[in-house]
């Protein structure tokens, strides 16, 4: 199984996600991946880079070596591709493929522990929303927002989102979600901001997957955000 080797040498009660400090990066052609390699034992994180590369736009998510907490960080820069807004993001899972201007994305990697908190650092410089779909036109001119969140789920398999059809994880109503830790912000930061988010457990079922997502434009699923928004994330971890 592609992701079945996550944390095999760690007891379930103390699992961490491989490369959650974002120190390891791999370049395949012109495309950066936040992983040591694309071998199954290292391939846990992805972004939309492969999709935008199809249009000649490379690496909205890329390694950062100067603006960091320690080692390397991830730099997320939202942009526009042929006039269509593309939110920069990083997540546990895989970019499966592009279909027209949409894409299929698999969210989640195997995970069976019950952490108490989701921790890390982010640094956000939001822009003014200059792209929006028809349903979010009223948001133009507002300040963009970033989001960082972690979900524990007991799905039978990873969730496959389809941006073309508007199929996304609904954090509020998905019955497979066991616990949530999330922040959003529209503040303009001048340095890294630490976060320590307590998981809010909805039940005591045992997880099967963990989803971790960071996006420089919270409403990017709806092609809404600012092409000037930039976000840095570093040193993610789970607390027990």
pLDDT (tens digit, 0 to 9) for every residue of the chain, 240 residues total?
333 334 444 556 689 999 999 999 999 999 999 999 999 999 999 998 987 755 556 799 999 999 999 999 999 999 988 788 989 999 999 998 776 666 789 999 999 999 999 999 999 999 999 999 999 999 999 999 999 999 999 999 999 998 777 889 999 999 999 999 999 999 999 999 999 999 999 999 999 999 999 999 999 989 999 999 999 999 999 999
Which CATH number belongs to the domain containing residue 169 in this structure? 2.60.120.890
The number of folded domains in the chain is: 1
> Would you state the pLDDT for residue 100?
62
Q: Is 5 part of a structural domain of the chain? A: no
Which range of residues forms the domain containing residue 73?
Answer: 26-239
Q: Is 47 part of a structural domain of the chain? A: yes
Q: Is 21 part of a structural domain of the chain? A: no
Cut 0.75: pTM above it:
yes
Q: Is 7 part of a structural domain of the chain? A: no
Q: Is 1 part of a structural domain of the chain? A: no
Q: Is 3 part of a structural domain of the chain? A: no
Q: Is 172 part of a structural domain of the chain? A: yes
Q: Is 128 part of a structural domain of the chain? A: yes
CA distance 185 to 203: 27
83-95 b/e (C-beta count within 10 Å ≥ 16 → b): eebbbbbbbbbbb
> Would you state the pLDDT for residue 57?
61
């Amino acid at each position: 199984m592609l992701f079945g080797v996550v944390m095999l040498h760690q007891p379930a009660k103390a699992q961490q996600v491989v490369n959650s400090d974002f120190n390891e990066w791999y370049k395949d052609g012109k495309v950066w991946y936040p992983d040591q390699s694309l071998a199954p034992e290292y391939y846990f994180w992805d972004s939309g880079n492969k999709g935008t590369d199809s249009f000649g736009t490379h690496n909205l998510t890329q390694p950062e070596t100067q603006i960091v907490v320690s080692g390397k960080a991830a730099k997320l820069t939202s942009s526009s591709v042929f006039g269509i807004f593309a939110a920069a993001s990083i997540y546990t899972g895989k970019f499966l493929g592009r279909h027209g201007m949409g894409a299929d994305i698999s969210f989640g990697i195997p995970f069976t522990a019950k952490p108490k908190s989701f921790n890390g650092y982010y640094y956000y410089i939001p822009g003014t929303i200059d792209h929006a779909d028809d349903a979010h036109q009223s948001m133009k001119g507002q300040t963009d927002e970033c989001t960082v969140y972690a979900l524990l789920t007991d799905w039978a398999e990873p969730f496959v989102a389809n941006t073309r059809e508007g199929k996304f994880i609904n954090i509020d109503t998905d019955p497979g979600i066991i616990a949530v830790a999330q922040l959003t912000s529209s503040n303009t930061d001048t340095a890294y901001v630490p976060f320590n988010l307590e998981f809010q457990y909805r039940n005591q079922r045992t997880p099967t997957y963990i989803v971790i997502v960071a996006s420089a434009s919270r409403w990017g699923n709806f092609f809404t955000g600012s092409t000037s928004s930039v976000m840095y994330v570093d040193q993610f971890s789970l607390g027990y």
